[in-house]
Amino acid sequence: MKTYSARPDDIRRQWFVVDASGKTLGRLATGVATVLKGKHKPIFTPHMDTGDHVVVINAAKIALTGTKATDKRYFRHTLYPGGAHWISIRELMEKHPDRVLTQAVRGMMPKTKLGRAMMKKLKVYGGAEHPHAAQSPSPWPY
């Protein structure tokens, strides 16, 4: 039996909309990463971007389990001496609720050019409105 390899003509991209209100951060991120990679399709090919577009709404209402709301912190560094910055997940949810899910999904994607191209198909919005109605996204069945 031969190994199947998708051709660019075989790839049909869909748009999905996900309502994140009340969903757990990690479980939602794994489902979104799976759809962005294209692993939910029978034509999945690891070296090609076969995934679909995902629009996430109500990212500000994502649920966190355990003590993550108080204990989890994100780190970044300015590359200057003493430039370490820590921000708690609660502060980040108040300022930029879309970045919490984006960071979680980014950590599950390949750290290559292909992974960066897949991340461009993710659109996250803190509220219930999104500007992608023209693409007529279907509800997320997963």
Beta strands in 49-136, from DSSP E residues, in sequence order: 53-57, 73-77, 84-88, 122-124
With a cut of 70, list the residues of the chain below it in pLDDT: none
Query: Domain 13-139: what homologous superfamily?
Result: Ribosomal protein L13 (3.90.1180.10)
d(CA 81, CA 69): 29
Q: What pTM does this model have?
A: 0.91
- Domains of the chain, by residue range, sit at 13-139
Residue with tokens 């971007």: 49
What mean pLDDT is reported for the chain? 95
pLDDT of residue 141: 79
CB atoms within 10 A of CB 23: 19
pLDDT of residue 4: 86
